[in-house]
Amino acid sequence: MEIANEIRSVYGKIKKQVSRLFLKRRVGFLRFWMSITFAQRCYFLATSMLLLQIFLNIESRLFEAIMFGFALTGIVSETWPRFMTLWNSLPGKAVILFVYAIIANFALASASGLVNSITGVSANALPYSHNFALILMVPSWFFVTTMLGLVGGMLLIIFYLFFLLLLKPFGVARFWHPKHYRFATSTTLARLAWTLGVALQLGVLAGQVGLLSEFSSESANPLISIENVTENELENGEAQLTKEQAEDISELEKDLTTLLTNAKQKSVDYKKSQRRALAYFIYEFEADSLSRCSHPEGTRVIELNDYEILQIEKTDEVEEGFIYTVEPCRSAAIGISVSP
């Protein structure tokens, strides 16, 4: 009976100490959680999920989406107020509009080139199709502006971190932040790492969807073969790989080649779908079925000027489904025979 009482007494003391320790840790974590900003909480959650993924070997697309979602939310919550501050100032508004004017100019030129490559005539003669081509390219250019923003943000973060470390020996722990802002250096490192991670993830996602079609080269550049590099190193005596290492490298090479090949194929398919959609729009909405200029039955025309028309014929012989030819305007009004 005495032994049982002693065991209960020891168990009660241990339980009380553990409860006190747990309560102290809980209170400490709550104080830490309440002392950091919303963006820091997002970085903390994203980093914690990354550590769980590494140590527990979690392979889940949903898990990764939530993790990068926290990181992106933290980046946006810090960037948007500063963007609005920049926008509300006259010099900042001028810089932002100048950057977007440059991007818009490239987008308009790219859309004009797409119309010209399909029809063979200047996009000035097809204003509605030019605008529709620009709309088709909005996802690609939105991705480009996002990537430019992330890259610019990374450069600013690097400079900020450099000056922060440079001024730390002089007792300056933070600047450009309120006094109650904590963990400035570690937050900057986390922000830099997650900005780079989000940029890479967006790049991979854009390649898988096909949004890089406007910026991919048509030339078939050979992929770098890891296997060939390894063989050369073995011949020169610079590396000695075991059979398992060689198999791992070969498997990595196959995965990388498959990823790049799929991304390029997606880009090609995305560009083809753009061309088909634009060709359909030109035929159905831009072109006229009735015109003062004579044209064969079943074709549609777009008047380029008083003397020329763009004749569009639907066919299955070409990939876009339409044939475009420039013909003279056969009209009685200008004294030319109306017979085609």
List pLDDT tens digits, range 288-301: 988 888 888 889 99
In the numeric block, the tokens 């948007």 are attached to: 80
Q: Do 282 and 336 have their domain in common?
A: no
Domain count, the chain: 3
Q: Do 94 and 188 have their domain in common?
A: yes
Q: Domain range spanning residue 246?
A: 217-269
Radius of gyration of the chain (CA): 31
**How high is the pLDDT of residue 316?**
84
Instruction: Read off the pLDDT of each residue in 203-217 and give the average, rounded to a whole number.
Output: 65
pLDDT surpassing 70 at residue 205: yes
Report the C-alpha gap between 168 and 165 in whole angstroms: 5
**How high is the pLDDT of residue 216?**
54
Q: For 228-257, write each residue's pLDDT tens digit.
A: 444 454 455 444 556 666 766 777 777 777
Range among 115-119, 224-228, 259-263, 305-309 rated most confident: 115-119
Q: Do 197 and 245 have their domain in common?
A: no
**How high is the pLDDT of residue 311?**
92
Cα-to-chain-centroid distance, residue 166: 33
pLDDT surpassing 60 at residue 278: yes
Q: Do 263 and 199 have their domain in common?
A: no
Q: Do 253 and 306 have their domain in common?
A: no
- Beta-bridge partners for 309: 303, 327
Cβ atoms of residues 207 and 256 within 8 Å: no
Cβ atoms of residues 266 and 139 within 8 Å: no
- Pick the last residue of a domain from 269, 299, 331: 269
Q: Do 225 and 78 have their domain in common?
A: no
Q: Do 89 and 184 have their domain in common?
A: yes
Name the percent of the chain lying above pLDDT 90.
20
Read off the pLDDT band of 175 (50, 70, 90).
low
* Between 153 and 310, the higher pLDDT residue: 310
**How high is the pLDDT of residue 227?**
45
Q: Do 195 and 301 have their domain in common?
A: no
Q: Do 285 and 310 have their domain in common?
A: no
Q: Do 157 and 279 have their domain in common?
A: yes
Task: Give the three-class secondary structure for 313.
Answer: strand
Q: Do 206 and 238 have their domain in common?
A: no
Q: Do 313 and 183 have their domain in common?
A: no
Tokens of 33: 């959680």
The model's pTM is 0.69
